[in-house]
Amino acid sequence: MSTTAVHSAFAPAVPQTLDDLGIQLSLVTDLVLRRLLLEGFSTLTLLSQKLRLSIPIVDLVFRQLRQQQLVDVRGMNGNDYNIQLTSAGKQLASDRFQLSQYAGACPVSLKDYHMATKMQSANVQVDRRALRGAFSDMIISDRMLDQLGPALISQTSVFIYGPTGNGKTSLAERMLRVYQDAVLIPFAVEVDGQIISLYDPVVHTRLEMEDPEIDPRWVLCRRPCIVVGGELIPSMLELRLDDSSGIYAAPLQMKANNGIFIIDDFGRQLMSPRDLLNRWIVPLDRRVDYLTLRYGVKFQIPFELMVVFSTNLDPADLADEAFLRRIHNKIFVEAVDSHSFDQIFNRVVGLKNIPCEPDSSEYLRKLCLREGRTELRACYPNDICNILVSIGRYENRPPRMTKADLERATSLYFAKS
């Protein structure tokens, strides 16, 4: 992926002055003090690398600290200074460390974060052919692709609903494939002198970026995709302060900005649907959210993401009309027909390399529809094949797909009615 293409919309230059940096000198000074306290001994170059600041800004802070007799020079390393804290400097650094232990990359300002998020909003251009390629590892009808296409282009919220086992989650997770670009995400954001840690290697996929002209406080990442299920609770959508470190963790929707946020099994969370919908009715409508620092300062962040609700429950039972109106795209994922079932079956059998008889797919369909079951589900072929593999391992033989084995597997899979 070329750096030029990635940065066409947003390419922050390396700040050379405090005005360019957008952060108060006192906060930068605290970062330098805490970093020196942790390192014990450093150079201006090392501080520049650790804090992701330009040498001119680090040098400015160093000269002020030296004038205040808070740092000492202990020789030279080429043209660089070897420095360490004085006793007074260690005391001040320890005091600042008690308030916050953050000593990583210098944060960006809230204003710059707003600007970057807006500039990097997704602009998706797809047609049926492109979507067919993005979802090539799924069996999807043209009708379904023609519903997904406009929803993805709109980049607003999507409600995917229908019977369980027909690929709603798989559809949602593959939506990320329509993005052909990357985004810059800051390591941290500063609000009212507080640090909010944003870049998260658990949910952000970092890409290599070798461009010395780009502000190193930003990380090049793929557009994020965050998936939550039944574990979602209200605190995950708010700032969380770590009392021991004094650092705020960004909520999930902030980490998902410029990407996709999937709420799987919507309606089965510890957080009630009503609470979630009330929390997000304004963000979904106005594309902004509001967060609050522990001591009451409230501020606005962009809500520049596509929220995907996936559920096997009736939307009318989960949300009222006022909320559903704000979800412009509602896509029903129906049970599969016989032709699609056979296509899924052939693909699964091929991937798992299970020998089968010519009429195995038809026989499996009949087994799946007996005992009062009226619909074929997209998940049945893969789930049944997994059971066949387990039976083979249990009997110390390769998996096979005889009628007897299919009977055995389906009797294990389906509960007696």
Q: Find where tokens 């709109």 sit.
A: 154
Query: Is residue 121's pLDDT more than 60?
Result: yes
Coil/strand/helix, residue 86? coil
- In single-letter form, the type of residue at position 196 comes to I
CA 307, CA 292: separation in Å to the nearest integer? Answer: 22
Using alpha carbons only, what angle is made at residue 272 by residues 270 and 278, rounded to the nearest 5 degrees? 135
Considering only CA atoms, which of 241, 236, 278 is closest in space to residue 256?
Answer: 236
Model pLDDT for residues 43-64, shown as the tens digit of each residue: 999 999 999 999 999 999 999 9
With pLDDT > 90 as the criterion, what percentage of the chain qualifies?
Answer: 76
**Secondary structure of residue 57 in the 3-state scheme:** helix
Model confidence at 382: pLDDT above 90: yes
Structure confidence by residue, pLDDT tens digits, 162-213: 998 999 999 998 999 999 899 999 999 999 999 999 999 999 999 988 788 9
**CATH class, range 24-104:** mainly alpha
* pLDDT at residue 309 tops 50: yes
The full set of domain ranges for the chain reads 24-104, 115-121+138-332, 338-413
Which pLDDT band, with edges at 50, 70 and 90, does 101 fall under? very high
- Residue 417's pLDDT is what? 63
Rounded Cα distance, 158 and 177, in Å: 16
The values of phi and psi at residue 218, to 5°, are -110, 145
What would the mean pLDDT of 263-291 be, rounded to a whole number? 88
Query: Among the listed ranges 139-143, 267-271, 300-304, 361-365, which one has the minimum average pLDDT value?
Result: 267-271
pLDDT for 1 beyond 80 = no
Report strand pairing: 188-191 vs 194-197.
Answer: antiparallel
User: Looking at domain 338-413, does it have CATH number 1.10.357?
Assistant: no
CATH superfamily ID and name for 115-121+138-332: P-loop containing nucleotide triphosphate hydrolases (3.40.50.300)
Is pLDDT of 4 > 60?
A: no
